[in-house]
Amino acid sequence: MPYHLYSLSPEASIRLLIDEAPREISNKEIQELLDYQIPIGHKIHQQFPTMRKGEIHMTNHPLVLMLGGHPQAISLAAPMLENQSLKELFCQLLETNIMDALDIQHDQQSYVSLRISLEISIQSLKKKKPKVLDLYMFIGLLPGGIKQKELTDMWGDNSWRSYKESLIRASLLVFRPQEDILILLPFMNAKAYELLEEEGEDTKNHFHLKC
């Protein structure tokens, strides 16, 4: 089933990012972001020519433009603001391996935004809570999702529960309480499998045996 990704306006994107942030965003913090000078020669200057045309506002700032107005991309980025300022989040987006995603054709911008936001969420967990990604990769092997009781049986104990909360806060996991199901969205499923491929045969075999 195809997914059609519709972009929000810059104004709506900013409002959603601020509303989804797990803490209050001050005007001082916004101004700090606007005052930040991107290093001369950084490839983002070529990607977003509007930066060279007069004063920068939130509506034309690269942070907003990179998220592409896509609600899921913004929802993935917003939890990062729990421990980072807007400026720090933007600096993370400027990292080379994340910027490589911007090489995709312009007509795929919504997918680029998802890829960028998903990448920063994954990188943040790798640095702070790498074991949480074990659950992310494991559920990625179950495209239809899994009930919590079944997950305990497969996992072998309840240690996955603390990982679950971290993934939900990072918007990487969806919990449907009515069905008691944990599930990844399709594009997240693909990323989970990609991460598992990078882990090597031992981890893959271990997870496949659990399934």
My answer on whether 24 and 101 are in the same domain is yes
Cα end-to-end distance, the chain, whole Å: 25
Query: Which residues 6+ apart lie within 8 Å of 42 measured at CB?
Result: 94
Q: Which of 51-60, 64-73, 108-117 has the lowest mean pLDDT?
A: 108-117
Please, what sign has the CA dihedral across residues 136, 98, 56, 26?
A: positive
Q: Does 120 map to a domain?
A: yes
| Among the listed residues 196, 63, 95, the one whose alpha carbon sits nearest the alpha carbon of residue 142 | 196
pLDDT at 139 over 80: yes
User: Cα separation of 129 and 24, whole Å?
Assistant: 24
My answer on whether 86 and 181 are in the same domain is no
My answer on whether 182 and 144 are in the same domain is yes
- Pair 211, 141: CB distance under 8 Å: yes
Taking each helix axis as running N to C, give the angle between helix 160-169 and helix 148-155, from 0 to 180 degrees, rounded to the nearest 10. Answer: 130
Q: Does 63 map to a domain?
A: yes
Q: What's at 209, amino acid-wise?
A: L
List phi, psi (to 5°) of 43. Answer: -65, -20
Q: Does 176 map to a domain?
A: yes
Q: What's at 30, amino acid-wise?
A: I
Express each pLDDT in 67-89 by its tens digit. 777 787 788 888 889 888 999 98
**Total count of domains within the chain:** 2
Q: What is the pLDDT of residue 62?
A: 85
* Domain range for 156: 132-210
pLDDT band, residue 132 (cuts 50/70/90): very high
CA distances from 13 to 2, 63, 78, 95, 145 (A): 23, 10, 11, 22, 29
User: Cα separation of 107 and 190, whole Å?
Assistant: 21
Q: What is the pLDDT of residue 49?
A: 62
My answer on whether 70 and 89 are in the same domain is yes
Query: 196: exposed, middle or buried (C-beta count within 10 Å: 0-12, 13-18, 19+)?
Result: buried
My answer on whether 153 and 88 are in the same domain is no
| Among the listed residues 115, 127, 129, the one whose alpha carbon sits nearest the alpha carbon of residue 194 | 115
Express each pLDDT in 28-57 by its tens digit. 999 999 999 888 887 777 776 655 556 778
Q: What's at 61, amino acid-wise?
A: H
